[in-house]
Structure 1
């Protein structure tokens, strides 16, 4: 798809949005990334004349809504437990009649839980790596051994590579076990896919060009995502029919998980089995290193235009 095939924004008057709260920060483990994303969105919307204001966390959001100060919310909170990707904020805003960006309650709650998302994908016949559920403070070693090395062990309900362990040998299991003893939540042991890492952003009914992620190190960890300047992002990540297929799969997986609006679907591409679904992000990062702006730019959609288009989805005629 080229830039000329992308529909134009439906509105050009920023007044249609009213007063917009850019919800950021919060108290999740992803607070710092959310603040960086949120400040970028805030600046972009203001550059287009939108009456946008920073709102830090859920208690501040409640105060602003009660005071009648917000007409809609651009949600860029990341994570759960004080973040905005687990359905709690969505339910709050929906109950109060305030439009918001991103998927609704069901899609947000489901995709925050990687285990349940994979169960839905499997039931839908969609490809995802084999996995084992590890109950809170459960037996990490048994789950790893059931899958066979190599595997990833990670929290079922965190993002931004928080608490992710790459298990290549028996000696690597101890660190994951130590983490599990103190972590208050389920863990996911997932068969490691040997192949390239890809992501596809969703904007309404449009799957943006795929991105192949090539970190300078051995894998795409927190540092590579948010700090490193030597990670390569190849966009589009595939060509021809492969590119068409991975975009179609991303849109199907996004919808199967109850999502609409905008988001990002992450893959690993197995050399023999092709693309394998890993997870969905319903409030993707919007920092200088983030992937959705990179994909949008390939279609001639700059950062401010992307923010505008996401916010447009809160207006009648688009899915919120």
Structure 2
């Protein structure tokens, strides 16, 4: 299952800094540990920052669910950034987006955060809670207050601002501090001398209580636990608490009733005070009980039999059952003995090495690999060669003078390979337009990052994961780095066809569309050059006639593909010069043809010839066209469909979205013969930007690397 873990890190990610600011944050080590726990259970996890970009981040990681697909879940650890009822902000947004999540609803969080409303509801339900007063400022009448009391913010958790006071002067000072520091009302509550406990809860129907936990106040009935205690000198926790079974059961029963009265969900922690006569008082309930390992909730859960990993996954399970009616979240097939699957270990390995993968990608992207920049292309090849040599691959060099050297790598002593991987390095972008690597939280940008170089980074990452899992030596893999893709494989075509003859299947890691489409077919390409020149210079009117005929001829050729959604004819690089006084006119235009079958190309060429046949009789101007096939079309074959079905099953296992796609652009893989199993588009998910720059979704590097690793491992 796809699980997006949301927490708060960048609190500057808002439009304005305004209102009450959050003082409660998760330690990033805890966030990482939660993510790792989910990954070990086989889930596809992304850690996302819950600021104003969260909707776009969720759309990229967890797109709209198609019929038959498993819906993902949100593991919400976001306390909010600012404003009132911060716990409700992310859940409210998720409700709007239609995404299921772990934890209480916005209304439940709002009630639990508001300690005054909580106490009113509890009192109305006959639940024991200390008497209380609420003040807006320190000048109000406080004569009814019975001391001692504890003063706290009305809508904060984690013991922020707690202070026990014994007289009215100190009370006014404490109320003033709360109102000015937290910009909210002060809750003044009867202080209960005695002992302090808490009860962790998990589940919905039924709600399971953890063993009662006691905060060790070292025998001081007037002691409390402040936020500084929790952060710097946490008090000892005793679990199970040293109380009678009858008293423990009563605390658990009251905690469940308190949980249900606020309509909370999935998990929480109830804080309790026990007076010196063993009377129970419910103090408050935390609807987002902290998962910090030394905290009360995980400590009690451990005594209940849940280690950290099982606790985190139990939380996901109870939320999933609530949403999907007795359906537990699907993950990688977990062995009965509870050990982590090889797939999960590979995913974790790929994720922990993401920084190294991105560093390699940056080096590749920052290198200008314009097709005629031989030095740049060869430098890129050298970087890849260094990585592959460490993985046990040897190389063959096919020297080239006009473009970079074509390289073939293999880890097999045999000539035959299970998979041939074709990957281009060059591009059409000259140095002046080259965009260097640019990193954002969820996107990576730069020339070639989507179309070619992101695929190289994914390939290296996948091979490293196969080596880590001790599978690489069992596989026979060939890798062909092509350096003339931008000029239609002029030099590599024969090498591609030769190496493909020795492979069981051929794949390429061009970038995938944002829908995750794998390329099963590509259009073929043909290129022509239309030229015209005025012959008869005795009349200025002929300049105009030559121009009109040129444009008319070009338009007629382009009209061949009108209303044809399977073929495209488009002009490019149009140049035309004329002068009425000097009496000259000449011009040329490139014509690009994208077609999907050889028969269609033949038909297009016949129509072009027919259009030009009428020009031969003219004495005013001359028109000619030259050019032809550059790459054949790659059509969907039964063998490719079978290979796609294999990839589809693997993708479903790891919850990676894929689909079938036809791409209008041609590529080197088009040179492979039709009956060979072929799939392209296994690279990162991304797109071209309007500026001709490219970008990829950062998390797709992990997903696609795991998918490629599993595909290469599956040689059946």
TM interval, shorter chain, is 0.7 to 0.9
Distance change in 2, residues 1:200/1:181 (3 Å): closer
2:158 to 152, 157, 160: 160
Number of aligned residues: 299
Which has the larger displacement, 212-221 or 23-32?
Answer: 23-32
Contact 2:195–2:217 (CA<8 Å) still a contact in 1? no
Distance change in 2, residues 1:200/1:26 (3 Å): farther
Report the alpha carbon displacement of residue 147 of structure 1 after superposing the two structures with TM.
Answer: 2.2
Mapped to 1, the partners of 2:48 and 2:173 lie a distance apart of 37
Matches within 5 A, 1:304-315: 304-315=309-320
Report the alpha carbon displacement of residue 128 of structure 1 after superposing the two structures with TM.
Answer: 0.3
2:183 match: 184
1:180-239 Cα offsets, whole Å, 9 max, x none, are: 45242111000001111110011001011110101469320112223225x211111233
Contact 1:31–1:78 (CA<8 Å) still a contact in 2? yes
Secondary structure of the equivalent of 1:314? helix
Q: What is the TM-score of this pair, normalised by structure 1?
A: 0.84
Secondary structure of the equivalent of 2:144? helix
Distance change in 2, residues 1:224/1:93 (3 Å): same
1:140-182 Cα offsets, whole Å, 9 max, x none, are: 7744x42221111111111111122221344533541441452
Mapped to 1, the partners of 2:41 and 2:239 lie a distance apart of 27
Which has the larger displacement, 244-253 or 23-32?
Answer: 23-32
Matches within 5 A, 1:1-320: 17-25=1-9, 27=11, 28-33=21-26, 35=28, 37-69=30-62, 71-78=72-79, 81=82, 86-135=87-136, 138-139=137-138, 142-143=141-142, 145-170=143-168, 172-173=170-171, 175-182=173-180, 183-204=182-203, 205-215=207-217, 218-228=223-233, 231-237=235-241, 238-272=243-277, 274-315=279-320, 316-317=324-325
Contact 2:135–2:175 (CA<8 Å) still a contact in 1? no
Report the alpha carbon displacement of residue 33 of structure 1 after superposing the two structures with TM.
Answer: 3.5
Mapped to 2, the partners of 1:268 and 1:300 lie a distance apart of 25
Distance change in 2, residues 1:103/1:32 (3 Å): closer
Report the alpha carbon displacement of residue 298 of structure 1 after superposing the two structures with TM.
Answer: 0.8
Q: What is the TM-score of this pair, normalised by structure 2?
A: 0.39
Bigger Rg, which one? 2
Mapped to 1, the partners of 2:152 and 2:160 lie a distance apart of 8
Contact 2:4–2:48 (CA<8 Å) still a contact in 1? no
Contact 1:26–1:82 (CA<8 Å) still a contact in 2? no
Mapped to 1, the partners of 2:61 and 2:83 lie a distance apart of 22
Report the alpha carbon displacement of residue 252 of structure 1 after superposing the two structures with TM.
Answer: 0.5
* Unaligned residue ranges in structure 2 (runs of 5+): 12-20, 64-71, 328-716
Contact 1:34–1:78 (CA<8 Å) still a contact in 2? no
Secondary structure of the equivalent of 1:87? helix
2:438 match: none
Secondary structure of the equivalent of 2:102? coil
Mapped to 2, the partners of 1:26 and 1:158 lie a distance apart of 20
Secondary structure of the equivalent of 1:91? helix
Report the alpha carbon displacement of residue 260 of structure 1 after superposing the two structures with TM.
Answer: 1.7
Secondary structure of the equivalent of 1:266? strand
Distance change in 2, residues 1:188/1:210 (3 Å): same
Q: CA RMSD in A?
A: 2.5
Contact 2:152–2:178 (CA<8 Å) still a contact in 1? no
Mapped to 2, the partners of 1:118 and 1:256 lie a distance apart of 11
Q: Which structure is richer in relative contact order (CA contacts within 8 A, separation 6 or more)?
A: 1
Mapped to 1, the partners of 2:139 and 2:150 lie a distance apart of 11
Report the alpha carbon displacement of residue 49 of structure 1 after superposing the two structures with TM.
Answer: 3.1
Distance change in 2, residues 1:120/1:43 (3 Å): same
* Unaligned residue ranges in structure 1 (runs of 5+): 1-16
Distance change in 2, residues 1:37/1:149 (3 Å): farther
Contact 1:130–1:190 (CA<8 Å) still a contact in 2? yes
